[in-house]
Amino acid sequence: MQVQSVCPILAPVIGAYLLLHVQWQGIFWILAVCGGLGALAVWLMVPETGKQNETGNNDFGNAVKRLIGCRRYWLMTLSFASLMGALFSYIGSSSFIYVTLFQASATEFSLYFGLNSLGVIAFGLVSVRMLRVMPLKRALAVSFAVHSTACFLLVAALSIGLKSKIASIVWLFFVVLAMISACVPLIWLVIFIGLWDIEEANNRH
């Protein structure tokens, strides 16, 4: 999770540096090369994990059918998509909000952006540890509730023109991003490991 959390934060900085040396089209060529190398590495280094049936064919088709019919999978997938939408909305609009609305300097914007990024990194580590004190379902509910509340407060603060309270905006952004980083690992535990099912099975016994 930490790699995924840090990458969207570092990407604008790396992209800005690359644009000093290549045209904007060069960014996409670099991404294509990186994607090709990643696909080659997966092909050569990651073993097949799908089970084989009696005819020698894997059960990929059946797995897809089960996913399509799984309500919990769609719930978690839509939740993940909404969180990523919020994250990339921040990345795309934070400079406009800080620089245009609050007249922050480039140095101040860097400090605010860095502070908000700390929330992403820190709470990616904290979220899984929440499971030591509460079940997965409650941890997800708490994280989403705090995230949603901070989003509403942020929209309200910007709507009423809270331009003199930039510290409040910075901390609301911090909470919004921190809770994104808190929710995503928990969603992965549900989708990829089935921890929700494991907890429910343990509760029944």
Predicted confidence (pLDDT) per residue in 110-159, tens digit: 778 777 777 777 777 777 777 788 887 788 888 888 888 888 887 887 77
Distance of CA 179 to CAs 26, 70, 72, 169, 193, Å?
A: 34, 25, 21, 15, 21
Predicted confidence band of residue 39 (pLDDT cuts 50, 70, 90): very high
Winning range, highest mean pLDDT, from 42-46, 72-76, 176-180: 42-46
pLDDT above 90 covers a percentage of the chain that reads 7
Q: Span 57-82, mean pLDDT?
A: 76
For the chain, the first-to-last Cα distance in angstroms comes to 32
Q: How many CB atoms lie within 10 A of CB 48?
A: 7
- The residue to which tokens 């989003």 are assigned: 151
Q: Phi and psi (nearest 5°) for 52?
A: -100, 135
Between 165 and 45, the higher pLDDT residue: 45
As a whole number of angstroms, the distance between CA 205 and CA 167 comes to 49
Q: Which is more confidently placed, 184 or 82?
A: 82
Asked if the model's pLDDT at residue 173 lies above 70, the reply is yes
pTM of the model: 0.62
* Separation between Cα atoms, residue 22 and residue 29, nearest integer Å: 10
pLDDT band at 84 (very low <50, low <70, confident <90, very high): confident
Taking residues 8-14, what's their average pLDDT?
70
CB count within 10 Å of CB 176 equals: 24
Find, among 133, 146, 130, 148, the residue nearest to 185 by Cα: 130
Q: How confident is the model at residue 192 (pLDDT cuts 50, 70, 90)?
A: low
The pLDDT of residue 14 is: 79
Poorest-pLDDT segment among 49-53, 73-77, 79-83? 49-53
Q: Please list the residues that pair with 52 across neighbouring strands.
A: 58
- Contact by Cβ (8 Å): 27, 19: yes
The predicted structure's pLDDT at residue 175: 80
